[in-house]
Amino acid sequence: MSDIPHLPQGFDIASEFPIVARWRFFNHAGVAPISARAAAAIEQFAREARDDAYLTGRWYQRAELVRRAAAQIINADAAEVAFTKNTSEGIAFVANGLQWQAGDQVISTAVEYPSNVYPWMNLARRYGVEHIMVGERDGRIDAADIFAAVTPKTRMIALSQVEYASGFAHDMAAIGRFCRERGILFCVDGIQAGGVLPVDVKSMNVDFWSADGHKWMLGPEGAGVFYCRRELLNKLEPEIGWMNVVNASDYGHYDFTLRSDAKRFECGSYNIPGVLALGASLDLLLEVGIDLIHRRTLALGDYLCDQLRQRGYQLVSSRRAGEASGIVSFVDPQRRHQQIIQQLEKQNIIIVEREGRLRASPHFYNTADDIDALAAALPKA
């Protein structure tokens, strides 16, 4: 427990995250609380919109700062980042934007969240694309198993950076390198990683990365980010509306010239309150630093795992270096999961069940005391 890195000096948990007054919240892998700063951004937007309509808020200029912060979180250039309404929309940009041939293969895992399954099943239905799902073993997916599934027909590997039900973090650098060396596209559902794990789309050789803000990035639902590697921007057919073009504000002079940056994927008006609130939380995350957030969240998770083992729970999540994430999945040998969740909720402690496993996902602002309270509230297994 003494190994848990400290929060920055003066960081006031209760004012940054008012949720701590009511809940010990361990479901950041589900829908996270928004930060107080994000709530303030929404309130500010509401006041501006109510009192001045769009006249004083400079919302679209402020959104550009959010784009820059989002780019920084994943080490992209702002010109490679588009706003989306959620993770699924970004993945749909990829699935629906590329030209597919019958027999093309997309490889993912058999334990993906459906946002990274149905788009590929849909391609199978529409074009005869083959969707291959590599299985999990003991809460892990060996990169070697993924590589073994690759054939000359493999067009894309599409993975969650962190798997939602096990918390397994893929070796992004190894998979990205493998893909780039073979001309295979690498598409990543990043929602379980962005804001808590280091993401470097450049060194990880990621081609496409998509995440909504409502988990580890501590934004509201419905405002997400999509990264498309610069060299691929013109390889994806965008959904077309009024805003994708160079002279979008020259309404009556129709000039269908697509923008050269990632804004070419943005077909119309933004979810401004969502984007500005996401920006406020991203600024907070960047201020604290992703490296500290990552180290602290892993240390809290490790501390929880120690206590779970002592209490007789079976750990599903790999805690090996590079494979651990913000998610701790575990099993009660007596399978009293729903009963446990309800008991905890009565004590204002929130965990969930996913795929037959209990799942606790603390974020960096949780404390060792929170973990102690969770462990003490869990019945001996």
Ligand X SMILES: Cc1ncc(COP(=O)(O)O)c(C=O)c1O
Residues at the contact surface with ligand X, assessed by CB under 6 A: 86-88, 113, 115, 160, 164, 189, 191-192, 212, 224
Q: How far is the CB of 189 from ligand X (least distance, A)?
A: 5
Q: Which two tokens stand for residue 367?
A: 């404390």
**Helix 272-288 vs helix 36-52: crossing angle, to nearest 10:** 150
Q: How far is the CB of 343 from ligand X (least distance, A)?
A: 24
Beta strand 357-360 with 352-354 is antiparallel
Q: How far is the CB of 354 from ligand X (least distance, A)?
A: 9
Residue closer to ligand X (CB basis): 57 or 176: 176
Residue closer to ligand X (CB basis): 88 or 154: 88
Q: Could you give the C-alpha distances from 82 to 45, 71, 190, 235, in angstroms and in order?
A: 21, 10, 14, 15
Residue 237, SS3 per DSSP = coil
Contact criterion met (CB below 8 Å) for 134 and 146: yes
Q: How far is the CB of 92 from ligand X (least distance, A)?
A: 9
Q: How far is the CB of 297 from ligand X (least distance, A)?
A: 16
Q: How far is the CB of 130 from ligand X (least distance, A)?
A: 22
Cα(381)–Cα(106) distance, rounded to whole angstroms?
A: 40
Q: Which two tokens stand for residue 251?
A: 């309404």
Residue closer to ligand X (CB basis): 87 or 166: 87
Residue closer to ligand X (CB basis): 171 or 372: 171
Q: How far is the CB of 196 from ligand X (least distance, A)?
A: 13
Tokens 């969740």, residue located: 341
Q: Give me the amino acid identity at 288.
A: V
**What's the number of CA atoms in the CB half-sphere (13 Å) around residue 95?**
28
Residue closer to ligand X (CB basis): 57 or 326: 326
Q: What radius of gyration, in Å, describes the C-alpha atoms of the chain?
A: 21
- Angle 32-34-35 (CA atoms, 0-180°, nearest 5)? 125
Residue 105, SS3 per DSSP = strand
Cα(207)–Cα(230) distance, rounded to whole angstroms?
A: 9
Q: How far is the CB of 271 from ligand X (least distance, A)?
A: 13
Contact criterion met (CB below 8 Å) for 98 and 122: no
Residue closer to ligand X (CB basis): 57 or 119: 119
Residue closer to ligand X (CB basis): 136 or 212: 212
Residue closer to ligand X (CB basis): 16 or 189: 189
